Every structure is written in C-alpha cells, then in structure tokens.
A = this chain, B = another copy of it.
Amino acid sequence: MSLMLEEIRQQPEALRRTIESESGKIARLGTFLKERDLRLIVLVARGSSDNAALYGRYLFETTAGIPVSLAAPSVFTLYDAKLRLDNALVIGVSQSGEGEDINVVLERAKSAGAFTVGITNEPASTMAALVDEALVMQGGKERSVAATKTFTGQMLMFSMLAEALRESGEPIDFTRVPDDVAGALASDDAIRGMVERYVFMDQCVVVGRGLVYACAYEMALKLMETCYVVAERFSTADFFHGPLAIVERHFPTFIFAPPGRTTDGTKQLLERLRDLRADTVVITGDDALTGFTPRTVKLSSEIDERLAAISYIVPGQLFAAHLAAAKGLDPDAPRSLTKVTRTL
C-alpha cells in the first residue's frame, strides 16, 4: 500500500488528535483577536496549503464577516511592496514550515504591524519560530510527497479559528469532523472499482463552488501530481464563463456537490453536462443531485455545509491514490517533485 493511501486513512485519528491538542489555544486566540478590531485577514500559502487557504477564505468571510485576501507572495518577494497591514491578521500555512516565500511574507507583515499566525506540521520550523502564534497539527509526520492528512488538518485549523472568530450563524461543531471523515473513507471500495474506467484519462475538469471550491483545486492538484492527468479546476460560475467550451461527449468531469446553498447551481451544471454527454462523477450527500450520472459517490447528508470540504476531499484523495496505483505509478514519488519546494 502506498504511503499516500496509508496517510489518507490516518486522517480521522490525526484530526482527533489535533482537536484535542489545539482547540483550547485557538479559542483563546479568537478571544484575543476579537478585541483587536480586525479589518482584514491575509492568507499566504503554496500548493495544497494554498488550497486549504481557499477554504479558509470562504469560511472566514461567511462566519466572521472579515474580508480575506489570498496573498500573492511575489508582491513582497519580487516587487518589494510595502502593504498597509495594521489591523490585519496574516496567517501562513506550510506543512514543513520552511516555505521561504511564505516566511518572507510573514516577516514583512509582522513588521508592518499585523498579527501573525502559522499553521504547520513542524513545531521546530522557521515558521513556528517567527509567528506570533503557531498552530501545530498533531497528525504525525507526512511522508508521502502528495499532501493528504496535512491538507485536512489545515482545513480543520481554519474551521476551529473561524468558530473562534464567528460573529454570526450557528456554532460550528468541528468536533464532528473526525467521524465525518471516517464516514467518507467508507467510499474506498466504490472508488477503487470506479478508477478502472479512468486509467487512460489524460485530461479532466474538477468543479466545486463556494465552501467546496477548495476541493476542486485540491483534487485537481492530486490528479496532476500523482496521476499526471491535466486537471482543470473551476467554480461552477467560472466554468460557465468560457471553459465549458472544452467539454464534449465523454469529457471527464468531477463535481463536488454537498447539500446546501450551492445545490441549485450544481443542478443546473449537471443538467448541462448531461446534455453535452460529458462523463461525470458526482460526490454528493444530496439526493436531489443523484440520477444525473451513473457514477455517484454518496456521502452522508448530515454533514454541516461549513465543514463539508474536509470530508468531501477524501473521495478525491482516494480517487487519485487508487488511479495512480491502477496506472502503475507510485503516488509517493511523483516525477519532478520533492517534498519541500523552495521558491522566492
């Protein structure tokens, strides 16, 4: 079994340990930050961590009401910009804590007066040392090059922090996450059977909107890294603005479709894809969204919409891991890649 698959299966336990270890600290951090008159949250990350930040973006804006900017590190590292960041919370996300450009942005933000937080797997990392507060995942070392348990761990951190900063809506019960993820892992056998159909797929589109937009980015990245599939990723809305033209009969599309506010838009997309005779896989817990394609990965209908991304990505991870195996590839050692990427 690949390390990737092993680490995918460790997720419920990894998430549980992170909640135990970090929830008290994050609640206190929220109380402290709420007194600081935050006007902006800046998230800075690369790769899978950046996809987790995309989830954080929607979650913070919808629950805390604070505008979020996903940082472009080169604004600092190449163009040497001095941004006004007083009253900003700047959160860096890096599995290793050694992403150089991420750390440069955090340093600059700190000296511009921002409060800085680091989300990392490595308590002894450069990032953990430089930020005002380090949030450390407790999932054990990630050995596969393809990030899986650190990705869901990062999303969990965002959900805990969003709850700590929440200004409106129902409380977010992030303690349900490990069980929800364990439930999503039950799709393992179904997905192992399904990937056979896609062994010779060389391109596809992955779609998700709003709080699961991050899943589209992350599944596409996993397919690129471990299966060498050219995988486009779009929100439902952006997809209709042009890229839909690439879809023809049999074109493979993967759709993340939790029950909730995105249901109507997803339904419209599924109807369109059915008319175009695309080859569609739907990952959903919504009975209204089954029946459009013979290939549905069914998840629980009980998952909180705000936490859905953390469970919904699991079938996407499993799909990539099983597809890599079916293609005879080693998902733990993608060609051309290493675990820590250095860019400035």
Which residues of A pack against B, CB within 8 Å? 39-40, 42, 46-48, 50, 57-58, 61-62, 65-70, 72-75, 78-79, 81-85, 87-88, 101, 168, 202-203, 205, 209-211, 213, 221, 224-226, 228-230, 232, 235-238, 240-248, 261-262, 265, 276, 334-337, 341, 343-344
Contact = CB atoms under 8 A, between A and B. Distances in A.
Given A67-B83, A83-B67, A203-B202, A229 B242 contact: no
A26 B194 CA distance: 56
B46 A78 contact: no
A344 B264 CA distance: 10
25 contacts: A39-B84, A42-B67, A47-B241, A58-B74, A61-B75, A61-B79, A61-B81, A61-B83, A65-B82, A66-B83, A67-B84, A69-B69, A70-B70, A72-B213, A74-B261, A78-B262, A79-B211, A202-B203, A224-B242, A228-B245, A236-B343, A242-B334, A242-B337, A247-B336, A265-B344
Nearest to A78: B261
A245 to B, nearest CB: 4
A62 B79 contact: yes
Kindly report how many copies of this chain are found in the complex they form together.
2
Given A79-B261, A237-B343, A276-B336, A228 B248 contact: yes
A85 B67 contact: yes
A241 B87 contact: no
B58 A84 contact: no
A189 B93 CA distance: 46
Given A79-B210, A230-B246, A245-B335, 10 more contacts: A39-B40, A40-B40, A47-B241, A61-B79, A66-B84, A74-B235, A78-B209, A79-B211, A240-B341, A245-B337
Contacts of A261: 74, 78-79
A299 B323 CA distance: 43
Nearest to A221: B242
Contacts of A243: 221, 224-225
Contacts of A230: 203, 205, 230, 232, 246
A248 to B, nearest CB: 7
A193 to B, nearest CB: 26
Contact of A245 (B73, B81, B225, B241): B225
Contacts of A46: 237-238, 241
Contacts of A203: 202-203, 230
Nearest to A276: B336
